[in-house]
Structure 1
Amino acid sequence: MTEDSNQEKKQNTINDQGTNDHHNHGGRLLVTILLAGILGGGITAGAGYLYLQTNGSTNGPTFSSLSGRKTIQAPVISGKTNASKVYNNLKGAVVSVLNQQRNSSSSADSFFASSSSSSGNSLQTVSEGSGVIYRSADAAAYIVTNRHVVAGANRLQVVLYDGTRVTAKLIGSDAMTDLAVLQIPNSSVKSVAQFGNSNQIQTGQTVLAIGSPLGTDYASSVTQGIVSAPKRLVSNTSEDGKTNYGDSVAIQTDAAINPGNSGGPLVNTAGQVIGINSQKLTQTTSGESVEGMGFAIPSNTVVDIVNKLVRDGKVTRPALGVQVVDLSEVSTDDRQNRLKLPNSVKGGIVIAGFSDSKSPAKKAGMKRYDVIVAVNGKHVSDLADMRDIIYKMVVGDSVRIRFYRGADQKTVTVKMSESLKE
């Protein structure tokens, strides 16, 4: 969630994983996404708070007399809540990430400013985000954050929980999933986070979001909420709006995610990282504001991507070379008149077109309006299912695809090529 510290940038995009199978979703609610970074402007002070004293009781509220009136007093809570324990165990692994870029200043500015170069180009922190340390070995620690947090940086600095600042090295980043891996010396690292299995999360379960909303002044802040939806398809377009990576699967949560939380962990009550916070929804195209709609990249996706980035410095994806749309988004009339599917087919993805003439699926004989229902024997009900299967494979692997062409069920083997997109 990258934003200049002096300006607020609103984008109609979400950077997450995708392939060249982009499609237009009829009837889908278009949203404006606020990518969290540092918001311009200050924070209004002056709010008053009333604190009630306690009498040490742990058995519920008690009453005391104040000017002849009875006033309720809050009880002392013994022990720590699960949220407190989770936070205290994990806080040392959560960091702030500072994106510093060169600013070509005037001669007068450079005279009075502390410059990192003799040419008058000083490094300034233009945005801040969050990150989480997930590995420490061989004198190095590795941090996962969002790609948009580190994009365009001339230097990256990491601020640890105790305030220690270290310069970070960018190991690699991936535009489709909006993930990046940084490396720092591990001499000051005391805590490392563990990943959980995002396939096991359930709607309604409690989660925590930890990070640096509005930057390092509010570092190590924690908010609590629930999982609103374990898998939600969200549109995924590059920050400049020129490249569309298709749709990505994200965890939806109502835990407060603010500018600066980008790249920080979404955590379950066992203290495991189940997602990396990436974006929040702020309003629809109709101008209506929304509350409590944040999104996180699932941990299983994170683990797969960071391993590839550390190993290769980039992510190479297999592709079928198709443009698709979920069957659930096709109208009843089109299902009956254009696709002519049996009534028993309830889920699947429809081929809306092909990436180019060299599309592996097209070469294998697949056609527009074919409806894919299974890959390698695994049921495919939507695009999320498809990606769960495809992205576990590598370029050159062959997959068996079961699909419907009208009322006829067919099977074809497709050898996947490398995705042409970043």
Structure 2
Amino acid sequence: MAMLMMNQNNLTTTSQVKTSQVTYQNETSTSKAVKVVQDAVVSVINYQKNSAGSSLASLFGGIEATDERLDDESDLQVYGEGSGVIYKKDGKYAYLVTNNHVINGAEKIEILLADGTKVAGKLIGSDTYSDLAVVRISSEKVKNVAEFADSSALTVGETAIAIGSPLGSEYANSVTQGIVSSLSRTVTSTDENGQTISTNAIQTDAAINPGNSGGALVNIQGQVIGINSSKIATSRLNANLSVEGMGFAIPSNDVVEIIKQLEDNGSVNRPALGISMVNLNQLSTTAISQLKIPNEVTSGIVVAAVQTDMPSNGKLEKYDVITEIDGQEVNDTSDLQSLLYKHKIGDDMTISFYRGTKKMTETIKLTKSTQDLSRQ
């Protein structure tokens, strides 16, 4: 590019803007890690019926819905988008994991591969409590599958790289980098049946946005350490206070355990106690004093309600404070669910709790499953 310049004698001279011809190795440990797994990260598109009705059948009265020219899916529109991770290729099929909330209610699922190819997805199984789902696709276009790391070996401060589709497939395969901020965080949410769900999560400051859900959180080796699931955008105490750098991912060890059950059975059958609960440390000092428990009891689970015809009925009562399960300390709802879900239907489970100042122990037979909760 030529530029005109005036010299001291007011003479116009021409100079050239130079572009450096120096080449260098522009590869980092992060870019190497991304290269390992990037082709296994996909966009997941959830289609549902358009309630407003924008199909040909609704726009033109002369064409009936039964017309052979109309596709059965003509009323479907994009309801939401998220991310997914292909973890297995088996013959003519490949399998990917995503979040349950990404595909919840989907009447059609499409997968956008890293190379831009779209393929049909079939839901194999989903689980509300872990917020995980498995989708099957054709393996024909699948070039790479991800490898899971051992999340129990993670250390706070190590590199964490998030890969996914923030704000949807328009920004597919976006990469952000941060660190593992904390381990074993309890993330509480509510499912479609109104049940409180507490999950164990990795906290990271790698930027996670809507659409990243179901995508990969990877280590510096390009191994998946977690499946991105949520973020905190505002303070629980002050909705006007925005929060940055607080994203959460489901640990890879939990993911591996759940997806195997989803592949085999389509669901995860877990035992249920049949109680509503709240963390003791979330109560005010006034509320805690009304429980009349010993002063040294500072953590545990407060029973808010007991459902009839469930295993806890007749064993636990409202305002009991659970402190141990099978001899192991219970500090919060995540601890309780983790210990409970290690059991199978039909097992006996020992619960220690305070009823006022009195410490009690009960053995409860786990005869009901989480599926029974929705029927209460």
TM range (shorter): 0.7 to 0.9
The residue matched to 2:119 in structure 1 has which SS?
strand
1:350 correspondence with 2:302: yes
- Structure 1 CA distance, aligned partners of 2:105 and 2:273? 31
Partner residue in 1 for 2:229: 278
* 1:198-237 matched pairs, under 5 angstroms: 198-237=151-190
Task: Report the identity percentage.
Answer: 45
* 1:215–1:367 Cα change, 3 Å: closer
Residue in structure 1 matched with residue 254 of structure 2 by the alignment? 301
Q: Spell out the pairing of 1:365-380 with structure 2 (5 A cutoff).
A: 365-380=315-330
1:127 pairs with 2:80: yes
Q: Deviations over 1:222-256 (max 9, x none)?
A: 101122332333331246xx623343333332211
Cα gap change, 1:117 to 1:232, in 2 (>3 Å): farther
Matched, 1:319 2:269: no
Equivalent in the alignment of 2:196: 245
Tell me the TM-score normalized by structure 1.
0.73
The one-character-per-residue Cα deviations of 1:157-195 (angstroms, maximum 9, x if unpaired) are: 212222222111111222233221100122222211122
Is it true that 1:405 corresponds to 2:355 in the alignment?
A: yes
1:156-167 pair list within 5 angstroms: 156-167=109-120
Structure-2 separation of matches of 1:244 and 1:54: 61
Distance in 1 separating the partners of 2:118 and 2:208: 24
2:144 maps to 1:191: yes
Q: Which amino acid aligns with 1:387?
A: Q
Sort the Cα spacing of 1:341 and 1:198 in 2 relative to 1 into closer, same or farther, 3 A: farther
Q: Report SS of the residue matched to 1:297.
A: strand
Greater relative CO (CA pairs within 8 A, separation 6+): 1
**1:288–1:333 CA distance, 2 compared to 1 (3 A):** closer
Give the Å deviation of 1:414: 0.9
- Does the 8 Å contact 2:312/2:364 carry over to 1? yes
Distance 1:328 1:102 in 2: 43
CA–CA distance in structure 1, aligned partners of residues 254 and 32 of structure 2: 26
Q: Quote the offset at 1:132 in angstroms.
A: 0.2
User: Which protein has the larger Cα radius of gyration, Structure 1 or Structure 2?
Assistant: 2
Q: TM-score, normalised by structure 2?
A: 0.81
Once the two structures are TM-superposed, the CA of residue 325 in structure 1 deviates from its matched residue by: 2.0
Structure 1 stretches lacking a partner, 5+ long: 1-51, 58-75
Check 1:360–1:136 CA distance in 2 against 1; reply closer, same or farther (3 A cut): same
CA, structure 1 residues 110+91, in 2 after alignment: closer, same or farther (shift >3 Å)? farther
Q: Distance in 1 between matches of 2:129 and 2:252?
A: 15
Native 8 Å contact 2:191 2:197 kept in 1: no
CA 1:349–1:126: 2 relative to 1, 3 Å = closer
**Distance 1:410-1:102 versus aligned 2 partners, 3 A rule:** closer
Residue identity opposite 2:91 in structure 1: D
Partner of 1:172: 125
1:266 is aligned to 2:217: yes
Number of aligned positions between the proteins: 344
What SS class does the counterpart of residue 163 from structure 1 fall into? coil
Q: How does 1:135-154 map to 2 (within 5 A)?
A: 135-154=88-107
Distance 1:217 1:351 in 2: 45
Contact 1:317 1:418 in 2 (8 A): yes
C-alpha separation between the residues in 2 aligned to 1:351 and 1:108? 51
Task: State how far apart, in whole Å, the 2-side matches of 1:199 and 1:405 are.
Answer: 35
CA distance in 2, matches of 1:388, 1:421: 18
Cα distance 1:322–1:154, how it changes in 2: closer, same or farther (>3 A)? Answer: closer
Tell me if the contact between 2:126 and 2:267 (Cα under 8 Å) persists in the aligned partners.
yes
- Contact kept, 8 Å, 2:86 with 2:146, in 1: the verdict is yes
**What is the CA–CA distance in structure 2 between the aligned matches of 1:401 and 1:101, rounded to whole Å?**
44
For the Cα contact (< 8 Å) 2:272–2:373, is it kept in 1? no
Residue type of the alignment partner of 1:161: A
Residues 342 and 407 in structure 1, CA contact (< 8 A), matched pair in contact too = no
2:33 to 86, 94, 104: 86
SS of 2:228's partner is: strand
Query: 1:100 is matched with which residue: 34, 37, 47?
Result: 47
